[in-house]
A and B are shown apart, each in its own frame.
Chain A
Amino acid sequence: MSVLVFVEIKDKLTKAVQETITYGKSLGNVTLLTYGDVSDSLLLETGNFGAEHVLICKSINERNEQLLSNLIINAVKKYNCEYIVLSQDQTGKAVGPRVAANLEAGHISGAISFPEKSDEFIVKTNVFSGKAIAFVSVHTPIKVISILPNSIPPKENKTTALITEINEDLGEARIKVKELKPLGDGIPLPEAELVVSAGRGLKGPENWGIVEELANSLGATTACSRPVADIGWRPHHEHVGQTGVAIRPNLYIAAGISGAIQHLAGVNGSKVIVVINTDPEAPFFKAADYGIIGDAFEVLPRLTSAINNFKSSQ
């Protein structure tokens, strides 16, 4: 089976990239496709996860869905690929369905598992914002699979990657990028393994210092409940839940969040949930692994210093 794995590489092989290659490798021989200014040493590193052949298009230097879709489609045709694997991140959401529609191929949006052992090609995805799981069957010879970050454990599978630089006429970009406003160097929420989140219980934006301090000492990304983003205490991109970002970290710490059904929908894919709330009846405790009935203003700093002590003893 010939598999095309599309990834974006910046200054290291992120976990999302490792997951995507691992998934591709489980389906067959991996041709990896990427673009932009990526060092040879990083490209060679993709071989550690099973990429045998690496195609790099250096002439594309910004994220343009039209050019990237054309790039992927050309490679699929040239190498007769049956599977196209990419990450269900911002770029994947823009490019994956476009490629699938162009090839009239079935698309799995947000795979959370390897294919089932079955005669058909069946993969699990999250639906109803994580309240349920669907088993989706793809009926077309070419299959496009976008995998949800933090769903597939990366696995080393050493091969030597052969690098080929490609240069193609992909047409003219119709979207012009004017400016990039970076959101900081932190790990983006959908890919974060550790998340510290807070809600209205924190009483005001001036109190977020204790949330950020805990996140810093853990190396976690910060998140918040919807009302907190709506009233402008925190930026919109931190809003998690059914109508915000859906996340599936290893650890989700929620302080001063009641645990409304719409909040739980976006976070219940987390492996371990810690809830800090003054109200023993808060619904969130029903979805928690560890509960702390207490005041976030006291508990958060205490937890931060316990984490710091733990880290310095390691």
Chain B
Amino acid sequence: MKILVCISKVPDTTSKINFVDNNSKFDQNGVQYIVNPYDEWYALVRALELVESNGGTVTTITVGNSSDDPTIRKALAIGANDAVRINANPTDSYFVAKQIADYAANEDYDIIMTGKETIDYNGSQIGSMLSALLEMPFVSLASKLETEGSKAVLERDVQGGLEVVEVDFPFVLSASKGMAEQRIPNMRGIMAARTKPLKVIEPVEQKALTSVVKFELPNPKTGCKYVDPENMEELVELLHNESKVI
């Protein structure tokens, strides 16, 4: 079984979000980066479990520059066999999908996995775009994955419920919570990761179709109005007459 897992780096969840250059760029100052939790906790770990029981390899792929290498090494420490980095600044999701699709088109992967979204841009786009570019079926928001030969059975999140679906290899999925449990890399994994292959390849030509012109921070709350815990009639009154939400 040959699995490709898309890995991206994101600011640590406790990061202060600020912008520089006239609010046009994310302020990286002092920001710690982590592997996007959906890519790591769910997609990568499930991929590893599958090859542990069926044999095969897990390759990670990242579109980014050398500042992504520490997070790629983290994914290798958790257990991926090798990694590919496409040496480019990820300008928009179509650009990223195009780079990954171009690489994956010649590699015969059985399953291509992404996290359901990144926690920075929250786009939820790459998996769906990859499936278009590679002409593969796409199982979105998958929370369970079992394989049998060259077939997979998945559970996915749809409007109003969970759907059980069946699909033949190859296919693309986006992983959401439930797919696997987070794994903490051990010392042996961390040591081994240093020498695992990380192949750097050059990007294909592609213009960005969208761009961010500026960022803004939401208006902060103006202060909390405290209500006596004995007097919930007052709260109901406020919700009805002051904020008009009920």
Q: Which residues of A contact B (CB under 8 A)?
A: 8, 10, 63, 65-66, 69, 88-91, 93-102, 104-110, 120, 122, 124, 126-140, 174-183, 188, 193-194, 218, 229, 236-237, 239, 242-244, 246, 250-251, 261-262, 265, 268-269, 271-275, 285-295, 298-299, 302-303, 305-307, 309-310
Quick one: given A97-B93, A110-B122, A127-B215, are A272 and B245 in contact (CB under 8 Å)?
A: yes
Across the interface, name the chain B residue whose C-beta is closest to A285.
Answer: B224
Set of chain B residues within 8 Å of A128, measured between Cβ atoms: 11, 17, 119-120, 122
- Contact partner of A98 (CB less than 8 A), chosen from B131, B228, B230, B238, is B131
Given contacts A120-B213, A137-B211, A289-B221, contact A94 B132 (CB under 8 A): no
Q: How far is the CA of A236 from the CA of B226 in the complex (A)?
A: 31
- Cβ-defined contact, A65 with B161, below 8 A: no
In the bound complex, residues from chain A placing their C-beta under 8 Å from that of B125 are: 96-97, 100, 107, 109
A-B contact pairs, 21 of them (CB 8 A): A10-B160, A65-B137, A66-B131, A91-B159, A93-B124, A93-B140, A94-B128, A97-B124, A100-B129, A107-B209, A109-B121, A132-B216, A132-B218, A177-B164, A181-B164, A182-B160, A242-B119, A243-B177, A261-B13, A290-B224, A294-B229
B160 x A183 contact (CB < 8 A): yes
- CB contact between A243 and one of B38, B128, B140 (< 8 Å): that residue: B38
Known: A106-B94, A137-B210. A272 touches B120 (CB 8 A): no
User: Is there a chain A Cβ closer than 8 Å to B187's Cβ?
Assistant: no
| Across-interface contacts of A305 in B (CB, < 8 A) | 232
Partner of A109 from B122, B127, B246 at Cβ < 8 Å = B122
Which A residues touch B93, using CB under 8 A? 97, 107, 109
What separation, in Å, do the CA atoms of A175 and B170 have in the docked complex? 11
> Is B124 touching A287 in the complex (CB atoms < 8 A)?
no
Inter-chain contact count A-B, CB under 8 Å?
272
Give Cα A215 to B157, complex, Å. Answer: 23
Q: A286-B221, A288-B221 in contact; A246/B122 too (CB < 8 A)?
A: yes
Residues from chain A with a CB closer than 8 A to the CB of B132 are: 69, 97-99, 101-102
Q: Does B240 contact A (CB under 8 A)?
A: yes
Q: Would you call B204 an interface residue if the criterion is a C-beta within 8 Å of the partner chain's C-beta atoms?
A: no
A182, B161: Cβ atoms closer than 8 Å:
yes
- Report if B20 contacts A (CB, 8 A): no
Q: Pick from A129, A179, A269 the residue with the most CB of B within 10 Å.
A: A129
Measured CB to CB, the closest approach of chain B to A191, in angstroms, equals 9
Instruction: Check if B128 sits within 8 Å of A288, measured CB to CB.
Output: no
Write the chain A residue with the least CB distance to B36.
Answer: A243
* A220 vs B55: C-alpha distance when bound (angstroms): 47
- Cross-chain contact B129 with A139 (CB below 8 angstroms): no
Q: Say which residue of B128, B139, B164, B221 sits within 8 Å of A96 (CB atoms).
A: B128
Those of B199-214 within 8 Å (CB) of chain A: 207-214
Residues of the A chain whose Cβ atoms lie less than 8 Å from the Cβ of B168: 174
Asked whether, in the complex, the Cβ of A179 is within 8 Å of the Cβ of B17, the reply is: no
Q: Which residues of chain B are within 8 angstroms of A91 by Cβ–Cβ distance?
A: 158-159
Nearest Cβ in chain A — how far from B144, in angstroms? 11
A176 to B167, CA, bound (A): 6
| B191 close to A (CB within 8 Å) | no
Residues of B within 8 A of A (CB): 11, 13-14, 17, 19, 37-38, 92-94, 97, 116, 119-129, 131-133, 137-141, 143, 153, 155, 157-168, 171, 174, 177-178, 207-218, 221, 224-230, 232-233, 235-236, 238-240, 243, 245-246
Cα of A88 to Cα of B174 in the assembled complex, Å? 15
Kindly identify which residue among A65, A271, A302 contacts B138, using a CB–CB cutoff of 8 Å: A65
Expressed in whole angstroms, the minimum distance between the Cβ of A296 and any Cβ of chain B is: 10
With both beta carbons as reference points, the residue of chain B lying nearest to A66 in the complex is identified as B137
Tell me which residues across on chain B come within 8 A of A97, comparing CB atoms.
Answer: 93, 97, 123-129, 132
Known contacts A65-B138, A135-B213, A303-B235; A262/B128 CB under 8 A: no
Q: B30: shortest Cβ distance to chain A, in Å?
A: 15
A183 touches B210 (CB 8 A): no
| In contact, B138 and A293 (Cβ under 8 angstroms) | no
Which A residue's beta carbon lies closest to that of B116?
A: A93
Q: Which partner residue on chain A sits nearest B230 by CB separation?
A: A302
Give Cα distance in the complex from A181 to B120, angstroms.
31
Smallest distance from the beta carbon of B218 to chain A beta carbons, Å? 6
Docked pose: A94 CA to B246 CA in angstroms = 33
Instruction: State whether A194 and B160 are in contact (beta carbons under 8 Å apart), knowing that A90-B140, A174-B137, A175-B137 are contacts in the complex.
Output: no
Of A88, A93, A290, which contacts B227 at CB under 8 A? A290
Q: How far is the CB of B92 from chain A (nearest CB, A)?
A: 8
Please give, as numbers and ranges, the residues of chain B lying within 8 Å of A131 by CB-CB distance: 17, 217-218
Within the assembled complex, what's the spacing in Å between the Cα atoms of A282 and B64? Answer: 39
Report whether B158 and A302 are in contact in the complex, using a CB–CB cutoff of 8 Å.
no
Min CB–CB distance B244 → chain A (angstroms): 9
For B221, give its contact among A66, A261, A287 (CB under 8 Å): A287
Partner of A310, one of B92, B162, B215, B236: B236
Cα of A176 to Cα of B240 in the assembled complex, Å? 47
